[in-house]
């Protein structure tokens, strides 16, 4: 029981560390950045042979299978979108790690209760 309490204490501390220091939840966005260069179609334009016009940066989000939303980002909004995407990844990583800690805590609690509780035959 004592061993479980020590492990649980460490896990609570780890969970606390993982859950703190996250960016603001209000500043997240799911999706990915896509950079495109387009060809205007004029045969004499430089884009006909070289790289197309651009770059144009888009935030692309899959809403459901086969349905995406694309937002053309201005130069000013590009770093904001990058930060929000980064924040989203940090939140997801934290969610997965806290979830793993909580699974261990649940297992510990079950094990501790099993040790403590007298069996029906006793």
Relative to beta strand 32-38, strand 67-73 is unpaired
In the structure encoding, which two tokens stand for residue 20, read together?
């703190």
Span of 19-27, 43-51, 64-72, 79-87 interacting with Zn ion by CB under 5 A: 43-51
Peptide bond into 85 cis (omega under 30): no
47 binds Zn ion (CB under 5 A): yes
59 and 70 in contact (C-beta within 8 Å)? yes
Size of the site for Zn ion (CB under 5 A): 3
Nearer to Zn ion, 8 or 47 (CB): 47
40 binds Zn ion (CB under 5 A): yes
What is the nearest approach in angstroms of Zn ion to the Cβ of residue 55?
A: 14
What are the residues binding Zn ion (CB under 5 A)? 40, 45, 47
């Amino acid at each position: 029981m004592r061993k479980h309490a020590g492990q649980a204490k460490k896990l609570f501390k780890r969970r606390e560390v993982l859950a703190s220091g996250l960016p603001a939840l209000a500043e997240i966005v799911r999706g990915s950045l896509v950079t495109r260069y387009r060809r205007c179609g004029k045969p004499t334009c430089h884009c006909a042979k070289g790289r197309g016009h651009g770059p144009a940066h888009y935030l692309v989000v899959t809403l459901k299978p086969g349905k995406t939303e694309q937002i053309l980002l201005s130069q000013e909004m590009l770093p904001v979108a990058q930060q929000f995407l980064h924040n989203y990844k940090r939140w997801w990583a934290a969610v997965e790690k806290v979830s793993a800690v909580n699974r261990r805590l649940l297992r510990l609690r079950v094990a501790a209760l099993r040790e403590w509780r007298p069996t029906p035959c006793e």
